[in-house]
Amino acid sequence: MSTTFRNYIDGVPVDASDGRTLDVVNPATGDVYATSPLSGAADVDAAMAAAARAFPFWRDTTPSVRQRALLKIADGMEAWADELLAAECRDTGKPLHLTRSEELIPAIDQVRFFAGAARMLEGRSAGEYMKGMTSIVRREPVGVCAQVAPWNYPLLMAVWKFAPALAAGNTVVLKPSDTTPASTVLMAGIIGSVLTELGLPRGIFNVVCGDRETGRLMVEHPTPAMASITGSVRAGTQVAESASKDLKRVHLELGGKAPAVVFEDADLTEAIEDLVVGGFFNAGQDCTAATRVLVHESVHDEFVAALAKAAADTRTGLPDDEDVLYGPLNNADQLARVSGFIERLPGHAKVEAGGHQVGDKGYFYAPTVVSGLKQDDEIVQQEVFGPVITVQSFTDEAQAVRYANGVDYAPASSVWTKDHARAMRMSKNLDFGCVWINTHMALVAEMPHGGFKKSGYGKDLSAYGFEDYTRIKHVMTSL
């Protein structure tokens, strides 16, 4: 029996006002299993109006009230963990055991982190900077936030958006990806129950399902003071352009092409073990995935051979298979995109492992390693967003830095060496929002996540991510 998802506006589950729907496909099978609303202008208007009505009340609550609400939301997520996990894995095809440990549990923890952050806003102390005048600095919520979450980590990215926004006193209209609405719609019900229990306006948090046009309507709507999106560079550029028409604040977390720089003194076994996970986890659908490995020429051939073997030993498969590292690509278009990169490889490239679809159902793609590449090759320069690791060789540290920095994307990078001074030099010279040393893809709630260059601006997680959802006001009074 098909499932029907609904929008969640002012605490009420509702269909799109004109009755339009989208099919939701299980990527592990390729079969349609549900429908969700294809929301239009009337639905966006209704959600924005609900958020705007709720904002004055929520803005004027104390941090302790917002903390209590977020802590109860985290408790609700814990109570509904099995249902959230099932919803997430049905929409994404991800392995259940890894999604629980690596996504669901961290998501709950991150809600609790921002619950604490709600009571820890800091500013300069009051003081006299002009004779006869005292100045203070207020931090305030920005207002209604229009937020668009991606399909690669639907639940986790929703948390990264709504938790800091709510903690700071903003109200939210959130749109999940059209391919992955399930966990966000379920989350809306959890949050709505908490708001009702605490006697708070249910319009504080709203969910509107739909496609790119729905997202555009949200960003261009006159009500939000801020637009936040996690997605492709193309989508981020369109959001920035749309938001510029009325000077909305914009928070962008976009594409990636993370380099892993492996020096000759690195522990190659440890590096390969970590980079297989860093490159293939979530089918490589991660802006921080270790998609580009740069290896010193003296150990290049040894490294490539070992990495290819490790890739061949890595499995993709169905959500309930505890021996797989990752599931399918998210949708048919993404499978075609990844396949296209491999089909267009230049003659000097060599596929060392994988390079093909797996099975005849769903959107599975084999763990793939490609060597023999040049810096200007398409697959080196453009985001694949699939289980594909490219390998290049370098001669010295300076060339490694040039190759690593020589792309348009810059969310994250890693350095593999036993030389502490070299690691410090590389962390200074790598032009990326994060530099890991002898590890890759580790994230914690207390540290910021966000890239440079075409990977966008603004930070997720940490106190910095919290502050992004506030504005600063100077108040001066005569003595």
Query: Which residue reads 């604490």 in tokens?
Result: 116
Angle between helices 105-117 and 154-167 (to 10 degrees): 10
Q: Are 450 and 151 in contact (CB under 8 A)?
A: no
Show the beta-strand stretches assigned E in 182-234.
205-207, 226-230
The H or E element containing residue 77 is helix 63-79
Counted residue by residue, the chain has a size of 479
Neighbouring CB atoms inside 10 A of 336's CB total 12
- Confirm whether 145 is a catalytic residue: no
Angle, CA 78 vertex, CA 319 and CA 8 arms, to 5°: 85
34 φ/ψ angles, rounded to the nearest 5 degrees: -155, 170
Catalytic residue among 89, 145, 209, 287: 287
Q: Are 243 and 235 in contact (CB under 8 A)?
A: no
What does the DSSP assignment read for 118-157?
TT----PPPEEEETTEEEEEEEEE--EEEEE--SSSHHHH
Catalytic residue among 253, 352, 383, 434: 253
What CA–CA distance (Å, rounded) separates 459 from 250?
11
Q: Are 408 and 454 in contact (CB under 8 A)?
A: yes
Q: Are 370 and 351 in contact (CB under 8 A)?
A: yes
- Confirm whether 287 is a catalytic residue: yes
Q: Which two tokens stand for residue 21?
A: 């729907």
List residues with catalytic annotation: 253, 287
